[in-house]
C-alpha cells in the first residue's frame, strides 16, 4: 500500500518560542482513516496546516503522495495541493458575500468539476442544508456553517482529506453522519483521511489514532 502522507522529524517553533511540534513522525496510507487526538493546544491544527503545505515547518520533511513539499516552489506546491488535497478548516473561512450554494459551486467551478451545481446539490442534500441554499454564512448557525465548510471540501473530490475538528460544532448524531460519509468516501473512492478531533465518541471510526501532547506524539 502506498503512503499518501509522511512526515519525518517535524518541528515547528513559532517566533515567540512556542514549540508546537517536536519531532513528529506520522504516516497515512491510501484509504486509511486516521485520527489525530490530543488536548487543546497540543499541536493538531499546526500539524494539519503543515501537512497541507499551508505553513512551513521549522525543521523536518513532509511528503505528500511521495513528494517532499518542504523543498517545493510555490507553484509546484499549489499544483499538488489542488490536485490531491482538500482541507476542512476548524474556523470555516466561508465566503461571506456568497450564499451557501454559491460557496460550493464557486469552488467546484474553480476546480474544474463537471456540473458543479448538481454536485453541490447532492452534497448539500446529504448535509441536510437544502433549506438553507440562499442563506449567507452569517445567517447560519455554527453547526450549519461547519457543514457548509465540509461540503466545500467535498466539492474538490480530493484523494486526501485533512479535517480539523470537522464535527466540533455538531451534535453527536450529526457528527456520526459526517464520519459515515467519510467512511463512504474511503469505500467508494479510496480517499485517505487525517482528522483532528477532541471527541472520544468518534474514535470508533478511525483505523488508527495519533495522540499529541504538548507537541509530541505518544508512543
Ligand atoms: N501563530 C502562532 N504563533 C505562536 N504560537 C502559536 C501560533 N499558532 C499556534 N500556536 C501555539 O502552538 C500550540 C499548538 O496550537 P494548535 O492550534 O496547533 O493546537 P490544537 O491542538 O489545534 O488546539 P485546539 O484543540 O484548541 O484547536 C498552542 O500552544 C498555540 O498557542
Ligand atoms: Mg486546532
2-24 pLDDT, tens digit each: 999 999 999 999 999 999 999 99
Q: What is the pLDDT of residues 142-172, one digit of tens each?
A: 999 999 999 999 999 999 999 999 999 999 9
Cα distances from 81 to residues 64, 165, 182, in angstroms, run: 9, 20, 19
Domain 3-94+142-217: which CATH number of 3.40.630.10, 3.20.20.140, 3.40.50.720, 3.40.50.300? 3.40.50.300
d(CA 192, CA 209): 14
* 14 CB near ligand 1 (under 6 Å): yes
Q: What 8-state DSSP symbol labels residue 199?
A: -
What's the gap in Å between 39 CA and the centre of ligand 2?
9
Q: Which atom of ligand 1 is nearest to the CA of 16?
A: 4
What integer best gives the mean pLDDT of the chain? 96
How would you class 56 by CB atoms within 10 Å of its CB: exposed for 0-12, middle for 13-18, buried for 19 or more? exposed
Q: C-alpha cell of 5?
A: 502522507
Residue identifier of the C-alpha nearest atom 28 of ligand 1: 41
Please provide the distance, in angstroms rounded to a whole number, between the alpha carbons at the two ends of the chain.
Answer: 23
User: Ligand 1 pocket, 18 CB below 6 A?
Assistant: yes
* pLDDT above 70 coverage of the chain, percent: 100
- The 10s digit of each residue's pLDDT in 44-98 is 999 999 999 999 999 999 999 999 999 999 999 999 999 999 999 989 899 999 9
Return the half-sphere exposure (C-beta side, CA atoms, 13 A cut-off) of residue 170: 25
pLDDT at 1 over 80: no
Where along the chain do its domains lie? 3-94+142-217
Amino acid at each position: 500500500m502506498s503512503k499518501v502522507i509522511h512526515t519525518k522529524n517535524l518541528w515547528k517553533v513559532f517566533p515567540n518560542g512556542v514549540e508546537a511540534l517536536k519531532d513528529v513522525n506520522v504516516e497515512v496510507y491510501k484509504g486509511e482513516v486516521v485520527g489525530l487526538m490530543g488536548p487543546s493546544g497540543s499541536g493538531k491544527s499546526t500539524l494539519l496546516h503543515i501537512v497541507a503545505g499551508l505553513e512551513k515547518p521549522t525543521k523536518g520533511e513532509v511528503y505528500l503522495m511521495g513528494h517532499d513539499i518542504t523543498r517545493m516552489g510555490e507553484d509546484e506546491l499549489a499544483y499538488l495541493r489542488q490536485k490531491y488535497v482538500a482541507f476542512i478548516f476548524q474556523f470555516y473561512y466561508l465566503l461571506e458575500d456568497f450564499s451557501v450554494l454559491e460557496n460550493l459551486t464557486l469552488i467546484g467551478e474553480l476546480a474544474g468539476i463537471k456540473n458543479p451545481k448538481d454536485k453541490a446539490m447532492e452534497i448539500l442534500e446529504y448535509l441536510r442544508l437544502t433549506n438553507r441554499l440562499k442563506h449567507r454564512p452569517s445567517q447560519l448557525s455554527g453547526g450549519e456553517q461547519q457543514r457548509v465548510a465540509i461540503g466545500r471540501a467535498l466539492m474538490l473530490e480530493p484523494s486526501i482529506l485533512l479535517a480539523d475538528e470537522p464535527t466540533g460544532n455538531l451534535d453527536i448524531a450529526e457528527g456520526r453522519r459526517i464520519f459515515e460519509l467519510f467512511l463512504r468516501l474511503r469505500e467508494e473512492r479510496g480517499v485517505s483521511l487525517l482528522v483532528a478531533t477532541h471527541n472520544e465518541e468518534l474514535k470508533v471510526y478511525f483505523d488508527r489514532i495519533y495522540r499529541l501532547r504538548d507537541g509530541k506524539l505518544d508512543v
